Amino acid sequence: MNIESLRTYCIRKKGVTEEFPFGEETLVFKVMGKIFLLTSLDSEVPGFNAKCDPEKAIELRERYDAVQPGYHMNKKHWNTVTIDGSLSNDLLKEMIDDSYALVVQSLPKKLRDELADK
């Protein structure tokens, strides 16, 4: 997975927008206005920050060197994932899907209903 395929995968999800609220080097993906993934566009090795269930976050960090506590994020709930070829595309997509789902679950009912209608 590269940055373009990461972008394509994220932007195809329901209710997703892409923004640059932290400067032109950091691409942010939001669902219904809430961040679920960030990626740096100027890193030598691509990667992303994704929200994760705290227990699963620890498990992933212990299992894979390419998964670390979230850089500049709440380290309990976010992982930084390096796309260095050591993780399968399926696992990367699973982490993106989990992040999206966690953020959707945390949305107020009104926004979840609005998303369901899109």
Render each residue's pLDDT in the chain as its tens digit; 118 residues.
Answer: 999 999 999 999 999 999 999 999 999 999 999 999 999 999 888 999 999 999 999 999 999 999 999 888 889 999 999 999 999 999 999 999 999 999 999 999 999 999 988 7
Residues 6+ apart with CB under 8 A from 59: none
Q: Where are the domains of the chain?
A: 3-110
Tokens of 71: 């850089």
Q: What integer pLDDT is reported at residue 71 of this predicted model? A: 84
Burial class (CB in 10 A: 0-12, 13-18, 19+), 117: exposed
Structure confidence at residue 37 (pLDDT): 98
Query: What is the pLDDT at residue 118?
Result: 77
User: Measuring CA to CA, which residue among 57, 38, 46, 61 is closest to residue 98?
Assistant: 57
CATH 3.90.1150.30 given to domain 3-110:
yes
Is-contact 84 66, C-beta < 8 A? yes
**Token match 């206005």: residue?**
33
Rounded to the nearest integer, the mean pLDDT of the chain is: 95
Residue 74: predicted pLDDT: 86
